Structure 1
Amino acid sequence: MAGAIEWQSGDFSAAQALARTAGRPLFLYWGAGWCPPCNRVKSEIFSRDEFAVRLRGLVPFWLDGDAPGAQALAAQLKLRSYPTLVLFAPDGSEITRLPCELDGELFIAALDAALAATHSAAQSLQAALDGSRILDAAEWTLLSHYSWDTDEGVLLAGRAPGATLTALAQAAAPVAPDAAIRLRLLSLLFPAAEAAPAAAGTATTAHAGAAALATAASVAELLLGVCRDARLARANMDIFGNSGAQLLKLAGAAQPGLAGALAQAAQAWADDMWLSVPDRLTAVRLQMRMARFGHAAAGLPELVRARVAEALAAVDDAYERHTLVNTAVSALNDAGLPAEADALLQAELAHSHSPYYFMLSLASSAKRRGDAAGMLSWYEQAWRAAAGSATRLQWGVTYLISLLDNSPGDSPRIEDAAAGLLADLSATADAFRQRNLAQVRRLAAKLSGTPHAPALQQALHPAL
């Protein structure tokens, strides 16, 4: 973590007491050492001087997913996805959850808006939905930069996210058009399954957007308008970089022209020296992905190869390199260069602070090739190399389930893995909480009714 920040860890109650006594907000970071987005947050946001300056007026708390009791505390605080960034008021109430995908400059602006907020995100949401008062532009900014994908029911409380975001976008439009556009873009990322069923005799919409009424033409018009506005496109670069392909799938016949417009915006980001190296490479990857939607550009695979090499040569910080390698592997695979992606992963194993994460990527690559033996070998290596109680438990579950699916007759190997996983389970104080619980439930369901690993099945029984 950034040396300029005096992170609290361990006793969250003590950190809350300090915040309350000092009258300072509490900033919580929940993550794991192997997680690429977490490493991006550390290198892109936490390392910034302006971030460290702001945290001097807060109580910074770092909750590592592998720390003793971390999964139990995460369940209490409704944290699941790595990373999750939460800002609490001095009294312990939650102000907002901040999106980790923003680049450093935009994140600082979003943090400033949250620190200056006169209402929490929950209060602003409630007022926006029930019409009890008019929200000002600052409140709309707070809601548009809320991390809806890590909400875990804190704000949504059972509401359908896509429909909620669509309603917010409509309400924000007259007061805060930029916030309205971001909310509308975010609404499109939630599945159509939450929308009302189609009328009898009509086809169910194939959109992945939030509302069945969102037509391909209206989506295309929205996306094209944003892509052609350099300022708006840059403000939503995180959405396009991570989900540009998902958005284009909603645009119907307009996809080729829209792909060209988004590729042009991505090219500008790829050449923006103010952006971090991983974020510039994400933009290159986005250019490559636009080729799937009709964007015709010669030499894209060669461009990806050259930009990956250039980026790797420029970065040696452990956190930044970890997320960079993950992005580079994705870009090389998108460019049709899987052998080069695998070579990069294997070369990085000796240098990475979390090589077991890249072993999982190698397992996924072997699976795509149809190499079941190679897949199982990499899953096993990842588990045996993994550090941290939660990580070992989750990696071990992945390995054992893959064994059961792909080599069900290999009883010695299955029993050996089960014995090792039973030891990991016994060594984990919060094995049946939060992310751990989700994994052990998967394994318990897979083992149930089989003759394998009776001792492990008995230990997993509370998860059923």
Structure 2
Amino acid sequence: MGATIEWQSGDLGAAFKLAASSGRPLFLYWGAGWCPPCNRVKADIFGQPVFAQRMRSLLPFWLDGDAEGAQALAAQYKLRAYPTLVLYAPDGRELTRLPSELDGELFIEALDLALAATHTAAESLQAALQAGQAGARPLEPAEWSLLSLYSWDTDEGKLLPAAELPAVLARLAQACPAGDACARLHLHAQVAAAGRIDTGAAGGNAAASAAQAAAAIAAAADRLLAVFGDAKLARANMDILVNNGFNLVKWSGARQTELVQALDQAARRFATDTWLPLADRLIAVRLRMRLTRIGAPAAGIAELVRETVAVALAEVQEPSARHALVNTAASALNEAGLADEADALLLAELGASHAPYYFMLSLAAAARRRGDIPGTLGWYEKAWQASAGSATRLQWGTTYLVSVIDLTPEDQPRIEAAAQAMAQEIAATADAYQQRNRNQLQRLAGKLAMLTVPGPHAGALLRGLNANL
């Protein structure tokens, strides 16, 4: 990963001490070897010479989710989603969390902005929320940009409790004076509200409330059209548009047709932008595929997906980039109704992939969609047995056992065998009850509790989970 970068790993506390003594900011990467977005980051961001150049003046630290004690550290530093990218000041203060889905060029711009910032994202947020109060400090334009480029998806309550995110982001967007940062904040606010528009119309005069709601929806549509129609602005927000654009348009109200057409045009530009990695162009084609569900032109889209996948697979061979690409390609093929081709692609990649067990999960999901219970459980079991790393094995094993209980609750021998093996996995994992591991074990405990007459191993496993969760 980034051969020219001297990644630190192991003792994060020691790394913070080294950052302090050397006066260097610490750049933290939290990820896993099987995670497609992590592999995209490795290929498209960490693999860029300009990124390696920036890291020479920083202390880059790689916290692998499967490293010993990593899940406990993740709980301490509020890390969960893979990947999470955090920049710390030399004195250990968290400066900001950076969005991993930006393309390499835009990510470097965001990193440079964070390195030059005179305030942390938390400080800028506090000042922004105090706007209008006596003695409030006005934000500089760079601070608005820093907040707009904050990775709200991976905040994990560091700056805001999740329940407050939609309302606070809406306040930020409304308080933002003007410019591209404000457009991005409005997008964040709408995404946080699940694509819906906060009309602010509640109670009071019904006619006034209806007018207020209509005005809010119209203003939101105007903002979306301004982003979709501006090639530069759309490109700067491509990460949000390709991942959330469908929902933004789906909940847009009466102007949906206009917005679908505008977003489809933006997606067409992304798909033909040769400055973008092939995987990103494929994601844009997948967006076009999704938009056909709500009125975008459907003619030739399935064949376009097939052709784009073929071109990308022929050109992308670097392992990290290919792992991310194959995941996107299989998703795009499935959405285009080419499920058999998606399965064939995943099967063909198993032998060459550095993390074939991830693709086995996708094959299990495909079997489940077909109603193939033996195939579903077979692939989930293979994924578990093939997986590597303590946290991954624990989480994959949980997925298998939960699926067995869901699909064949009467198969007590299979449940008992899996429960016994899972107890061994848990006992061998030092931080089994921390962070991502804990989430999975909570899910497993709920499923085990649903068994009418649990066997001895399932019963013992449930008692152990209840005692520790």
Q: Tell me the TM-score normalized by structure 2.
A: 0.93
Please give the per-residue CA displacement for 1:130-188, whole angstroms capped at 9, x wherever unaligned.
121110111011000000011111111466111111111111134xx110000000111
Question: 1:449: how far off?
Answer: 5.9
Q: Which residue of 2 is the match for residue 190 of structure 1? A: 192
State the partner residue of 2:19. 19
Counterpart residue type for residue 65 of structure 2: G
- Measured after TM superposition, the shift of residue 365 of structure 1 is 1.1
Matches within 5 A, 1:138-287: 138-157=142-161, 160-174=164-178, 177-191=179-193, 199=203, 215-287=216-288
- After superposition, residues 303-342 of structure 1 pair within 5 angstroms as 303-342=304-343
The answer on whether the counterparts of 2:197 and 2:220 sit within 8 Å (CA) in structure 1 is: no
**SS of alignment partner, residue 192 of structure 2:** coil
The aligned amino acid for 2:183 is I
Amino acid in the other structure paired with 1:457? L
Q: Is the 8 A contact 2:28 2:62 kept in 1?
A: yes
Counterpart code for 1:274:
W
Tell me which moved more, 443-452 or 42-51: 443-452
Does residue 55 of structure 1 match 2:55? yes
Taking the aligned partners of 1:198 and 1:9, their CA distance within structure 2 comes to: 52
Is the contact between residue 441 and residue 463 of structure 1 (CA under 8 Å) also seen in structure 2? Answer: no
Corresponding residue to 2:463 among 451, 455, 458? 458
2:106: which partner in 1?
Answer: 106
**Which residue is equivalent to 1:119?**
119
2:93, 2:197 → 1: CA distance? Answer: 29
Query: What is the letter of the counterpart of residue 460 of structure 1?
Result: L
Do the aligned partners of 2:197 and 2:216 also contact (CA within 8 Å) in 1?
no
- Pick the aligned partner of 1:135 from 97, 120, 139: 139
Distance 1:288 1:444 in 2: 38
Letter in 1 for 2:172: L
Is the Cα contact below 8 Å between 1:8 and 1:61 reproduced in 2?
Answer: yes
Give unpaired runs (5+ residues) of structure 2. none
Question: Is the CA contact (8 Å cut-off) linking 2:249 and 2:256 kept in structure 1?
Answer: yes
SS in 1 for 2:191: coil
* Ranges in structure 1 where 5+ consecutive residues have no aligned partner: 206-210
- Asked if the contact 1:16–1:92 (Cα under 8 Å) also holds between the matched residues in 2, the reply is yes
CA distance in 2, matches of 1:214, 1:190: 20
1:288 aligns with 2:289: yes
Identical pairs, percent: 61
Distance 1:191 1:170, change over 3 A: closer
Give yes or no for contact 2:197–2:217 (8 Å, CA) kept in 1: no
Amino acid at match of 2:273: D
SS at match of 1:376: helix
Check whether the contact 2:44–2:277 (CA below 8 A) recurs between aligned residues.
Answer: yes
Amino acid at match of 1:461: N
Name the CA distance, whole Å, in 1 between partners of 2:197 and 2:444.
28
